[in-house]
Amino acid sequence: MSNLLILGGRAGEHLAIRIAKTLNAELGEIEVKHFPDNEIYIRIKSDVESKDIIYINSLQRGPNDLIVETIYTLETIKELGARRIIAVIPYMAYARQDDRFNPGEAISIKILAKMFKSIGLDKLYTIDMHLHRITNPKEIFGEGFENLTAIGEIAKYIKQNHSIENSIVIGPDEESKQWAQIMAKELGGLEYDILVKRRITAEKVVIEPKEVDVSGRNVIIIDDIISTGGTIEEAVKVLRKLNARKLIVACVHPILVGRALPRLLRLNLTDLIGTDTILSPISKVSVAPVIVKAILKFLK
Protein backbone atom coordinates (compact mmCIF):
# COMPACT_ATOMS: atom_id res chain seq x y z
CA MET A 1 0.00 0.00 0.00
CA SER A 2 1.54 3.28 -1.03
CA ASN A 3 1.45 6.45 1.06
CA LEU A 4 0.85 4.36 4.18
CA LEU A 5 3.45 4.23 6.91
CA ILE A 6 3.25 1.90 9.91
CA LEU A 7 4.99 2.95 13.11
CA GLY A 8 5.29 0.97 16.33
CA GLY A 9 6.01 2.29 19.81
CA ARG A 10 8.10 0.22 22.20
CA ALA A 11 5.09 -1.88 23.22
CA GLY A 12 3.57 -2.06 19.75
CA GLU A 13 6.47 -2.86 17.45
CA HIS A 14 5.65 -6.59 17.26
CA LEU A 15 2.20 -5.73 15.92
CA ALA A 16 3.48 -2.95 13.65
CA ILE A 17 5.86 -5.41 11.93
CA ARG A 18 3.10 -7.95 11.41
CA ILE A 19 0.58 -5.40 10.18
CA ALA A 20 3.04 -3.74 7.77
CA LYS A 21 3.76 -7.17 6.27
CA THR A 22 0.09 -8.04 5.85
CA LEU A 23 -0.75 -4.67 4.31
CA ASN A 24 2.43 -4.66 2.23
CA ALA A 25 3.09 -1.18 3.65
CA GLU A 26 6.26 0.65 4.65
CA LEU A 27 7.44 0.04 8.21
CA GLY A 28 8.91 3.18 9.77
CA GLU A 29 11.28 3.76 12.61
CA ILE A 30 11.10 5.78 15.82
CA GLU A 31 13.96 6.34 18.22
CA VAL A 32 12.97 6.33 21.88
CA LYS A 33 15.49 6.80 24.65
CA HIS A 34 15.75 8.31 28.10
CA PHE A 35 17.91 11.12 29.41
CA PRO A 36 19.85 10.50 32.64
CA ASP A 37 17.03 12.08 34.67
CA ASN A 38 14.55 9.72 32.95
CA GLU A 39 12.92 12.31 30.72
CA ILE A 40 11.94 10.69 27.44
CA TYR A 41 13.44 11.52 24.01
CA ILE A 42 11.43 10.78 20.85
CA ARG A 43 12.60 11.12 17.26
CA ILE A 44 10.52 10.02 14.27
CA LYS A 45 13.17 8.76 11.87
CA SER A 46 10.86 8.17 8.90
CA ASP A 47 9.29 10.82 6.71
CA VAL A 48 5.63 11.19 7.72
CA GLU A 49 4.71 14.31 5.72
CA SER A 50 1.51 13.91 3.67
CA LYS A 51 1.31 10.20 4.54
CA ASP A 52 -1.38 8.14 6.25
CA ILE A 53 0.21 7.02 9.49
CA ILE A 54 -0.75 4.03 11.59
CA TYR A 55 0.85 4.22 15.02
CA ILE A 56 0.58 1.24 17.38
CA ASN A 57 1.46 1.15 21.06
CA SER A 58 0.00 -0.70 24.05
CA LEU A 59 -0.15 1.12 27.38
CA GLN A 60 0.76 -2.00 29.29
CA ARG A 61 2.77 -2.84 32.44
CA GLY A 62 4.39 0.39 33.64
CA PRO A 63 1.97 2.47 31.56
CA ASN A 64 3.04 5.96 32.63
CA ASP A 65 6.22 6.11 30.54
CA LEU A 66 4.38 4.52 27.59
CA ILE A 67 1.63 7.14 27.84
CA VAL A 68 4.17 9.96 27.57
CA GLU A 69 5.87 8.14 24.67
CA THR A 70 2.55 7.68 22.86
CA ILE A 71 1.22 11.22 23.32
CA TYR A 72 4.56 12.85 22.39
CA THR A 73 4.90 10.61 19.32
CA LEU A 74 1.37 11.26 18.06
CA GLU A 75 1.70 15.02 18.59
CA THR A 76 5.01 15.01 16.71
CA ILE A 77 3.55 13.02 13.82
CA LYS A 78 0.80 15.65 13.61
CA GLU A 79 3.26 18.55 13.71
CA LEU A 80 5.38 16.95 10.99
CA GLY A 81 2.44 17.12 8.59
CA ALA A 82 0.98 13.61 8.37
CA ARG A 83 -2.11 13.43 6.17
CA ARG A 84 -4.18 11.21 8.45
CA ILE A 85 -3.28 9.62 11.79
CA ILE A 86 -4.71 6.32 12.91
CA ALA A 87 -3.69 5.42 16.45
CA VAL A 88 -4.04 1.81 17.60
CA ILE A 89 -3.85 1.33 21.36
CA PRO A 90 -4.49 -2.41 21.76
CA TYR A 91 -4.39 -2.13 25.55
CA MET A 92 -5.72 1.13 26.96
CA ALA A 93 -4.42 1.69 30.48
CA TYR A 94 -6.40 3.21 33.34
CA ALA A 95 -9.75 2.07 31.92
CA ARG A 96 -10.67 0.48 35.25
CA GLN A 97 -10.37 3.85 37.05
CA ASP A 98 -13.51 5.11 35.32
CA ASP A 99 -15.16 6.75 38.33
CA ARG A 100 -14.41 8.58 41.55
CA PHE A 101 -14.86 5.58 43.82
CA ASN A 102 -13.58 7.53 46.86
CA PRO A 103 -13.71 11.30 47.41
CA GLY A 104 -10.86 13.17 45.75
CA GLU A 105 -9.80 10.41 43.34
CA ALA A 106 -8.73 11.22 39.78
CA ILE A 107 -10.96 9.70 37.10
CA SER A 108 -7.83 8.62 35.26
CA ILE A 109 -9.38 7.34 32.05
CA LYS A 110 -11.16 10.65 31.45
CA ILE A 111 -7.90 12.59 31.75
CA LEU A 112 -6.12 10.16 29.44
CA ALA A 113 -8.98 10.35 26.93
CA LYS A 114 -8.73 14.16 26.96
CA MET A 115 -5.05 13.92 26.00
CA PHE A 116 -5.85 11.64 23.03
CA LYS A 117 -8.76 13.85 21.97
CA SER A 118 -6.65 17.01 21.99
CA ILE A 119 -4.29 15.57 19.33
CA GLY A 120 -7.05 15.50 16.71
CA LEU A 121 -6.62 11.89 15.57
CA ASP A 122 -8.55 10.69 12.54
CA LYS A 123 -9.14 7.32 14.16
CA LEU A 124 -8.39 5.75 17.53
CA TYR A 125 -8.76 1.99 17.88
CA THR A 126 -8.63 0.07 21.15
CA ILE A 127 -9.19 -3.64 21.65
CA ASP A 128 -11.65 -4.90 24.24
CA MET A 129 -11.16 -1.83 26.35
CA HIS A 130 -12.54 -2.19 29.88
CA LEU A 131 -15.66 -0.16 29.16
CA HIS A 132 -17.81 -0.42 32.22
CA ARG A 133 -19.10 2.87 33.57
CA ILE A 134 -18.07 4.88 30.47
CA THR A 135 -21.07 4.25 28.27
CA ASN A 136 -20.26 6.65 25.43
CA PRO A 137 -16.48 6.57 24.89
CA LYS A 138 -16.74 8.79 21.77
CA GLU A 139 -17.78 11.60 24.09
CA ILE A 140 -14.46 11.57 25.95
CA PHE A 141 -12.05 10.23 23.28
CA GLY A 142 -13.56 11.93 20.23
CA GLU A 143 -15.68 10.78 17.28
CA GLY A 144 -12.90 8.62 15.77
CA PHE A 145 -12.89 6.24 18.74
CA GLU A 146 -13.70 2.60 18.01
CA ASN A 147 -13.39 -0.38 20.32
CA LEU A 148 -12.60 -3.63 18.47
CA THR A 149 -12.89 -7.12 19.90
CA ALA A 150 -10.42 -9.99 19.86
CA ILE A 151 -12.87 -12.50 21.32
CA GLY A 152 -13.58 -13.91 17.82
CA GLU A 153 -9.86 -14.64 17.31
CA ILE A 154 -9.63 -16.34 20.73
CA ALA A 155 -12.72 -18.42 19.88
CA LYS A 156 -11.06 -19.50 16.60
CA TYR A 157 -7.99 -20.66 18.52
CA ILE A 158 -10.15 -22.60 21.01
CA LYS A 159 -12.09 -24.30 18.19
CA GLN A 160 -8.86 -25.26 16.42
CA ASN A 161 -7.18 -26.65 19.52
CA HIS A 162 -9.92 -28.08 21.75
CA SER A 163 -13.19 -29.92 21.65
CA ILE A 164 -15.96 -27.64 22.87
CA GLU A 165 -18.44 -30.43 23.38
CA ASN A 166 -20.29 -30.29 26.71
CA SER A 167 -18.83 -26.83 27.41
CA ILE A 168 -20.15 -23.67 29.03
CA VAL A 169 -18.60 -20.17 28.96
CA ILE A 170 -18.18 -18.46 32.33
CA GLY A 171 -17.24 -14.84 33.06
CA PRO A 172 -15.64 -14.42 36.50
CA ASP A 173 -17.57 -11.25 37.35
CA GLU A 174 -20.46 -9.06 36.27
CA GLU A 175 -18.29 -6.87 34.02
CA SER A 176 -17.13 -9.90 32.02
CA LYS A 177 -20.67 -10.67 30.86
CA GLN A 178 -20.05 -8.73 27.62
CA TRP A 179 -17.07 -10.95 26.72
CA ALA A 180 -18.74 -14.20 27.86
CA GLN A 181 -21.70 -13.36 25.66
CA ILE A 182 -19.56 -12.80 22.54
CA MET A 183 -17.43 -15.88 23.24
CA ALA A 184 -20.51 -18.10 23.65
CA LYS A 185 -21.88 -16.82 20.34
CA GLU A 186 -18.53 -17.21 18.51
CA LEU A 187 -18.35 -20.80 19.76
CA GLY A 188 -21.59 -21.61 18.01
CA GLY A 189 -24.15 -20.61 20.59
CA LEU A 190 -22.81 -22.17 23.78
CA GLU A 191 -24.50 -21.45 27.06
CA TYR A 192 -22.89 -18.77 29.26
CA ASP A 193 -23.13 -17.45 32.79
CA ILE A 194 -21.21 -15.19 35.15
CA LEU A 195 -19.92 -15.38 38.72
CA VAL A 196 -20.18 -12.63 41.32
CA LYS A 197 -16.91 -11.03 42.42
CA ARG A 198 -16.08 -8.72 45.30
CA ARG A 199 -12.68 -7.01 45.28
CA ILE A 200 -10.99 -6.83 48.69
CA THR A 201 -7.60 -5.38 47.64
CA ALA A 202 -5.79 -4.90 44.32
CA GLU A 203 -4.48 -8.47 44.68
CA LYS A 204 -7.34 -10.22 46.47
CA VAL A 205 -10.89 -10.88 45.37
CA VAL A 206 -13.68 -13.04 46.71
CA ILE A 207 -16.02 -14.88 44.38
CA GLU A 208 -19.36 -15.30 46.06
CA PRO A 209 -20.89 -18.77 46.03
CA LYS A 210 -23.38 -18.85 43.18
CA GLU A 211 -24.98 -21.82 41.51
CA VAL A 212 -23.85 -22.05 37.91
CA ASP A 213 -24.58 -25.16 35.90
CA VAL A 214 -21.02 -26.47 35.46
CA SER A 215 -21.18 -29.88 37.15
CA GLY A 216 -19.62 -32.50 34.86
CA ARG A 217 -19.09 -29.91 32.13
CA ASN A 218 -16.01 -28.36 30.56
CA VAL A 219 -15.67 -24.64 31.24
CA ILE A 220 -14.19 -21.82 29.21
CA ILE A 221 -13.47 -18.87 31.52
CA ILE A 222 -13.14 -15.56 29.71
CA ASP A 223 -12.08 -12.17 31.08
CA ASP A 224 -10.69 -9.01 29.47
CA ILE A 225 -7.63 -8.70 31.71
CA ILE A 226 -5.49 -11.00 33.82
CA SER A 227 -3.35 -8.82 36.05
CA THR A 228 -2.38 -10.46 39.36
CA GLY A 229 -4.29 -13.65 38.53
CA GLY A 230 -6.38 -13.30 41.71
CA THR A 231 -9.72 -13.23 39.89
CA ILE A 232 -8.98 -16.34 37.85
CA GLU A 233 -7.57 -18.25 40.83
CA GLU A 234 -10.74 -17.64 42.83
CA ALA A 235 -13.01 -18.43 39.87
CA VAL A 236 -11.20 -21.73 39.28
CA LYS A 237 -11.56 -22.69 42.97
CA VAL A 238 -15.30 -22.00 42.92
CA LEU A 239 -15.85 -23.83 39.62
CA ARG A 240 -13.87 -26.90 40.79
CA LYS A 241 -15.97 -26.99 43.98
CA LEU A 242 -19.01 -27.09 41.71
CA ASN A 243 -17.49 -30.14 39.94
CA ALA A 244 -16.46 -28.51 36.68
CA ARG A 245 -14.35 -30.82 34.50
CA LYS A 246 -11.71 -29.38 32.14
CA LEU A 247 -10.98 -25.68 32.51
CA ILE A 248 -9.73 -23.43 29.72
CA VAL A 249 -8.89 -19.86 30.79
CA ALA A 250 -8.67 -17.07 28.23
CA CYS A 251 -8.16 -13.34 28.40
CA VAL A 252 -7.53 -10.57 25.91
CA HIS A 253 -4.88 -8.65 27.83
CA PRO A 254 -2.33 -10.79 29.69
CA ILE A 255 -0.77 -8.10 31.90
CA LEU A 256 0.45 -10.86 34.24
CA VAL A 257 2.14 -8.76 36.91
CA GLY A 258 4.57 -10.20 39.45
CA ARG A 259 3.97 -13.89 40.13
CA ALA A 260 0.69 -14.08 38.21
CA LEU A 261 2.00 -16.61 35.68
CA PRO A 262 3.26 -19.25 38.16
CA ARG A 263 0.10 -18.65 40.20
CA LEU A 264 -1.98 -19.57 37.15
CA LEU A 265 0.25 -22.43 35.98
CA ARG A 266 -0.21 -24.09 39.39
CA LEU A 267 -3.96 -24.32 38.69
CA ASN A 268 -3.37 -27.18 36.25
CA LEU A 269 -5.59 -25.74 33.54
CA THR A 270 -6.26 -27.45 30.21
CA ASP A 271 -5.14 -24.26 28.47
CA LEU A 272 -4.25 -20.70 29.39
CA ILE A 273 -4.68 -18.26 26.53
CA GLY A 274 -3.97 -14.57 25.99
CA THR A 275 -3.46 -12.35 22.97
CA ASP A 276 -0.52 -10.23 21.86
CA THR A 277 -2.08 -6.87 22.81
CA ILE A 278 0.55 -7.35 25.52
CA LEU A 279 3.37 -9.77 24.72
CA SER A 280 3.59 -12.56 27.29
CA PRO A 281 4.35 -16.31 27.47
CA ILE A 282 0.61 -16.98 26.96
CA SER A 283 0.15 -14.70 23.91
CA LYS A 284 -1.06 -17.53 21.69
CA VAL A 285 -3.54 -15.46 19.68
CA SER A 286 -2.65 -12.42 17.57
CA VAL A 287 -4.89 -9.38 17.33
CA ALA A 288 -3.21 -8.34 14.06
CA PRO A 289 -6.06 -9.69 11.85
CA VAL A 290 -8.63 -7.66 13.83
CA ILE A 291 -6.57 -4.46 13.43
CA VAL A 292 -5.89 -5.07 9.73
CA LYS A 293 -9.58 -5.63 9.01
CA ALA A 294 -10.55 -2.38 10.76
CA ILE A 295 -7.82 -0.36 9.02
CA LEU A 296 -8.78 -1.68 5.58
CA LYS A 297 -12.41 -0.74 6.24
CA PHE A 298 -11.40 2.79 7.32
CA LEU A 299 -9.03 3.38 4.39
CA LYS A 300 -11.48 2.07 1.76
Phi-psi region of 189 (alpha: psi -120 to 50; beta: other; left: phi over 0): left
Closest CB 203 distance from ligand R5P, rounded Å: 7
Q: What angle do CA 109, 111, 112 make, to 5 degrees?
A: 65
Nearer to ligand R5P by C-beta: 87 or 250? 250
* Helices 63-79 + 108-119 axis angle, to 10: 20
Closest CB 4 distance from ligand R5P, rounded Å: 34
Reported as half-sphere exposure (CB side, CA atoms, 13 A), residue 162 has a value of 23
Catalytic status, residue 33? no
The answer to whether 187 and 155 are in contact (CB under 8 A) is yes
DSSP 176: G
Closest CB 157 distance from ligand R5P, rounded Å: 20
- CA end-to-end span of the chain: 12
CA distance 210 to 47: 57
Nearer to ligand R5P by C-beta: 111 or 206? 206
Contacts of 122 (CB under 8 A, 6+ apart): 84, 85, 86, 144
Closest CB 167 distance from ligand R5P, rounded Å: 21
Closest CB 176 distance from ligand R5P, rounded Å: 6
Nearer to ligand R5P by C-beta: 142 or 229? 229
Nearer to ligand R5P by C-beta: 61 or 84? 61
The answer to whether 250 and 222 are in contact (CB under 8 A) is yes
- If one counts every other C-beta atom within 10 angstroms of the C-beta of residue 47, the result is 13
Q: Which of 197, 204, 210, 241 is catalytic?
A: 197
Nearer to ligand R5P by C-beta: 67 or 264? 264
Task: List interacting residues with ligand R5P (CB under 6 A).
Answer: 96, 130, 173, 175-176, 205, 223-231
The set of catalytic residues is: 197
